[in-house]
Amino acid sequence: MRLFATIILMLFPQLALAQSAATLVADSVRVTENEELIASGNVEVLYMDTRMTAAQITYDRTSDKLSITGPIVIQADDGTILTARAGQLDPTLKNGVLQGARIVLDQQLQLAANQIDRRDGRYSQLYKTVATSCQVCGDQPPLWSIRAQRVVHDDIEQQLYFENATLRIRNVPVLWLPQMRLPDPNLERATGFLIPEQRNTSQLGTGIKIPYFVTLGNHRDVTLTPYVSAETRTLELIYRQAFRGGDLRIEGAYSDDTLEDATRSYVFAAGEFDLSDGYQLTFDIEAVSDTAYLLDYGYSDKDRLDSEIALTKVTDTTLTQTRFTYYQTLRDDESNASLPPIIADASHEARHYPDIGGTLTTGASIDSAYRYSNVNGDSGRDVSRIGAFGDWDNSWIISSGVLLNLGAGMRADLYHVLDDNSFPTSDARVMPTFRAGLRWPLAAYSSSGTSHLIEPTINLSWSESYGATVPNEDSTRSELDQGNLFDVSRFSGDDAVETGYQGAAGISYTRLGKSGVSSTLAFGRVVHDEVQTAFSKSSGLDGLQSDWLVAGQLTTDEGFLLDARALFDDSLGITVTDSRIGWKNDRISLAAAYIWQAKDAAEDRTETVSEWTLDAGFIVNDAWSIDLDGRYNVADDSPVRAGIGIGWQNECVNINVSASRRYTSSTTVEPTTTYGLSGSLTGFSAGRSKAGLAAGCRN
């Protein structure tokens, strides 16, 4: 019969003291005349969070040792599994010797040794060891293995120390190291080398990146990556730090290459911090030594850098924010002096609920745009503005479910303009607005569970600008879409405003299917009583009548998405169209987007824009994956960029191969082809998820 440890511990008080609440269960237990306790048959020992099973355990009271006959299996609370043929341990299972042993760490890495010495419940010393995370099939050698004279596993530091180690591929020696340290799979963060990457570009030649990760305590770390090729000597850096109320990330690089006579560098820094009284501080700093550096090294494809620091507070009824932004252009046809490079603004908005009903929104703001140049006109103009506004809005449901909306507002601004004789130095502007809208939601439900909603909407409004004619700095790229169709002003900023009487009409249809398919379709147009000269031709809003807006969306539970918008003039000519389509399931991810815009000198667009972009990912099986991306200029009938990445993995190896081509060129940037290769032996990397499934053993 099975006996419990309470009986054993009553017979041997020393064992009870040594084991400190250890439990032993066996089919039979007997005591010899030499005061040895022998437990045999389905033996289990439980000590704290460790569990051991064996064929037989003998406890020698005199030596206070456990002699164990296998097969022995020891399971720890961290997922470590240890097996052995035989061994001797102390009653706490913290110290001892195991013969013919094997350790499995986190169900990934296995280490087999002739003998394991266990010391202080922390160190395991393995002699004549073979380590691998590959599946071992009979007498066949694993795909890779590391053979070492001795391996020490530190349970506390979660590190593996190898002595006289040899890396073997299919049992063929390829690399020998006298000493080596690697993290075990349970360790989340550890100082050491990360996965190297081989990189080949048409400009920088063949090179290699070897990242080195350094932990600087529990809340910060730095990654240093030397990048060496025949054409460059580069050091890349990523610094991260987490605070109690925020985080900081800094990345950058410093290069000495053959592409430029001077050294090159860049830095991107971003942070976010929660301050007292609900304020949040955010900043984003971007700087680069020359216009081509980011593209030459593939760090970013941005053609304008924006560095910003902002202070924001958001409550249920208020929004307060202050921002300071510095722009740096990387475009050939722009200069920093004329952007303007420096923008500063501050604003406060509050929402009130007066006794007359509705919602009253009030606010005040101040902003400034500064250019380095002192030339007269657009290239040197400096503009500052201070303004305040109030807007009241209310809605009522009238006959037959029609929703009536009324609103009125007033805005006043004071402008100060320097270095532009086209405008007075100081001037004021006042803009009143009134609006009224009707919306009639019509709903229907079918017997199949599908719901339908049709919403015809009409909106009438009036606004006027009294006083100054001011320079337009913040509203040069406005466009008609389904989000601003019924706005009083469709300019994106404060400098420009739509004036006169206008009407906007539209209708939308929404279908919600029982099977999870949902779709929407919307039409609309805006009519003015006076020409809106501040809008560009491609905005769809110039003239007395806007272009026709058509927009639609379709989504399904199976991961399909279609989103499209187009602007048509009266002759059904297309002004703007953009669309995206996507589909995603467990193995396939497809996304494509298309944009078409007519050329427009007012928006500095001298040629028609017509481009496709494509992103695709395929998980072919548990081992293979493919990623594709591309961008094609239909108007020029030429590619812009293309890339492919192929990944292969099994339970112990991860390999990624990539190739990309950037076809664009300018006076400072050359077309570039880049090849990349990286790989890792899984089972050691700190914090990595488990690799793919094993291929299985064949007879």
Distances (CA, A) of 426 to 373, 383, 429, 433: 20, 10, 10, 24
Share of the chain above pLDDT 70, in %: 94
Residue 624 lies in a domain: yes
pLDDT at 77: 76
pLDDT at 678: 86
Name the band, by pLDDT with cuts 50, 70 and 90, for residue 256.
very high
For the cut 70, the answer to whether the pLDDT of residue 19 exceeds it is no
Which one has a higher pLDDT value, 18 or 298? Answer: 298
Question: Residue 469: what residue type?
Answer: T
Share of the chain above pLDDT 90, in %: 51
Residue 44 lies in a domain: yes
Q: Which domain holds residue 16?
A: 1-93
For the cut 90, the answer to whether the pLDDT of residue 553 exceeds it is yes
For the cut 70, the answer to whether the pLDDT of residue 95 exceeds it is yes
In degrees to the nearest 10, what's the CA dihedral of 444, 447, 449, 452? -20
Q: What contacts 291, CB < 8 A, 6 or more positions away?
A: 330, 331, 332, 668, 669
Residue 633 lies in a domain: yes
pLDDT at 579: 95
For the cut 50, the answer to whether the pLDDT of residue 330 exceeds it is yes
Give the closest residue to 196 by CA, choosing from 221, 175, 225.
225
Name the band, by pLDDT with cuts 50, 70 and 90, for residue 12.
very low
Residue 528 lies in a domain: no
pLDDT at 11: 36
Which one has a higher pLDDT value, 111 or 285? Answer: 285
Q: Which residue has the tokens 């004021």?
A: 428
For the cut 50, the answer to whether the pLDDT of residue 96 exceeds it is yes
Mean local confidence (pLDDT), 665-692? 71
Residue 26 lies in a domain: yes
Give the closest residue to 451 by CA, choosing from 529, 528, 509.
509
Least confident of 179-183, 449-453, 549-553, 631-635: 179-183
Q: Which residue has the tokens 């007395």?
A: 544
For the cut 90, the answer to whether the pLDDT of residue 402 exceeds it is yes
- Rounded Cα gap, residues 690 and 692, in angstroms: 7
State pLDDT tens for residues 458-480.
999 999 999 988 998 888 888 89
Last residue of a domain, one of 93, 121, 142: 93
Least confident of 51-65, 225-239, 254-268, 396-410: 51-65
**Tokens describing residue 430:** 């006042």
For the cut 60, the answer to whether the pLDDT of residue 694 exceeds it is no
Mean local confidence (pLDDT), 156-160? 85
Least confident of 10-19, 232-241, 377-386, 428-437: 10-19
Distances (CA, A) of 395 to 389, 436, 453, 520, 545: 21, 10, 20, 24, 27
Residue 657 lies in a domain: yes
pLDDT at 643: 94
pLDDT at 373: 83
Per DSSP bridges, beta strands 144-154 and 192-193 are: unpaired
In degrees to the nearest 10, what's the CA dihedral of 85, 91, 95, 96? -30
pLDDT at 10: 34
pLDDT at 469: 87
- Looking at every residue in the chain, the average pLDDT score rounds to 87
Least confident of 241-245, 375-379, 400-404, 594-598: 375-379
Least confident of 2-6, 11-15, 169-173: 2-6
HSE-CB of 663 using CA atoms within 13 angstroms: 12
Number of structural domains (the chain) is 2
Which one has a higher pLDDT value, 153 or 268? Answer: 268
Name the band, by pLDDT with cuts 50, 70 and 90, for residue 186.
confident
Name the band, by pLDDT with cuts 50, 70 and 90, for residue 624.
very high
pLDDT at 387: 95
- Rounded Cα gap, residues 234 and 226, in angstroms: 6
Residue 581 lies in a domain: no
Which one has a higher pLDDT value, 658 or 374? Answer: 658
pLDDT at 644: 95
For the cut 50, the answer to whether the pLDDT of residue 136 exceeds it is yes
pLDDT at 244: 92
For the cut 80, the answer to whether the pLDDT of residue 86 exceeds it is yes
Last residue of a domain, one of 70, 93, 116: 93
- Rounded Cα gap, residues 471 and 90, in angstroms: 86
Which one has a higher pLDDT value, 202 or 349? Answer: 349
Span between the terminal Cα atoms of the chain, in Å: 42
Last residue of a domain, one of 62, 93, 124: 93
Name the band, by pLDDT with cuts 50, 70 and 90, for residue 417.
very high
Residue 687 Cα to chain centre, angstroms: 17
Least confident of 13-27, 272-286, 429-443, 515-529: 13-27
Residue 166 lies in a domain: no
